[in-house]
Amino acid sequence: MPRPAAVDGACPVRLEAIAALLGLWAAWRWVDLGRGTDCLGLFCRLGGSAEDDMKTDPSIYEFLSTGAEAFRVLTDGVILDGNYRFVSLTIKGIERRLDGIYEPLDHDGPVYIVEFQAQPVPGAWFNLLTKIGLYGETHPGRAVRGMLIFLRAGDDPGLPPGAGPPLCSVAYLDDVLPRLLEREPDNPYVAALIPLIIPRTEDLRVRAPQAWQVIRAAPVAPPIRATLERILESWLMERFPLLTYEELRSMLPVLVPLEQTRAYQEIFAKGEAAGKTEGVAEGEAKGEAKGKADGLRRLLTRRFGVLPRWVIRRLDTAAVDQLDGWLEGIFDAQSLEGLLGPKPRRGVAKTR
């Protein structure tokens, strides 16, 4: 595996974006990926509406922020010669955002502007060309290159005349990643992307523990290892949202207990943090209860699916001690009633 170039000043991980991505598990309506199903095709159609476009963007750009080796993996072998840093930039005046830029450090190498497309967009190339022009206008004298990464080759609308290499290059992940996995099975950057590479569910079950061990054993810096682990965890959970808890646990203990994964902790922490913030205004006790109820609601939805109204009402009115008890018992419960108690019978008067 080529040695990654040093990268300084990498963008901070945007945990709120990742948590939001993970929080959409149920809404994305993944179907079970049976034999021969194209997982990349499904990734392109997350949610099926304009509002759900580009859901893979946060994780892809977080992956790119780990440095030069991530760039090589996603661009079909393009090497960054020298030290680079990965940054995001907003062009002032028109507020146009460039999410992925590799800028050279202490040398005159080209700047690479990276765009990722998970959906068919007719103007994708013109969008990249516009950003190349905007960056070049504000940084005259620098050599600027554009790299457009498509999830699928079929989504490429076609390079405009005169816009080819060296100004613009293209990579298709449905072509690049399977070949790279075959050539470099022990590359931790490739291992983090196996949910995008392996289409068959049963094959992914087998390869996931192996991929985790590749990342854990890799000679990379701890922050990079943590990022690769988080990306693998996140996309594994997206690939298996319809599995029961027991089925998911049969695969995940080889990786790490579910309740100890960063993905799990970030989702639960989001609800708890929201409750604590509200608690400043409404009282610490009430805020703590709301935060725990929100976190428990997410976990129950992840395990049992859409929650009935009686469950939501019971969570919203429960005391902190009761919520703590339910949180401790969630991993052993076989049903909602087994955890929360019997659902109310119709026609029975509510007690005050």
> What pLDDT, in 10s, does the model give residues 106-119?
899 999 999 999 88
Q: Is 91 in a helix, a strand, or coil?
A: strand
Amino acid symbol at 91: I
DSSP state of 87: E
Q: What is the pLDDT of residue 169?
A: 94
Residue 2 reports pLDDT greater than 50: no
DSSP state of 27: G
Given a contact cutoff of 8 angstroms between Cβ atoms, the answer to whether 116 and 56 are in contact is yes
More confident residue, 124 or 260: 124
Q: Could you read off the pLDDT of 130-154 as tens digits, one per residue? A: 999 999 998 998 999 999 999 999 9
User: Per-residue pLDDT averaged across 265-291, rounded?
Assistant: 58
Given a contact cutoff of 8 angstroms between Cβ atoms, the answer to whether 105 and 8 are in contact is yes
Q: Could you read off the pLDDT of 321-337 as tens digits, one per residue? A: 888 888 877 767 788 88
Q: What is the pLDDT of residue 265?
A: 54
Tokens (6 digits) for 40:
């990349």
Cis peptide before 166 (omega within 30 of 0): yes
Q: What is the pLDDT of residue 271?
A: 56
Tokens (6 digits) for 313:
């009402």
DSSP H helices in the chain: 15-22, 39-44, 57-64, 68-74, 124-138, 173-183, 188-191, 194-197, 201-217, 222-239, 245-251, 262-282, 284-304, 309-317, 320-329, 336-340
More confident residue, 314 or 255: 314
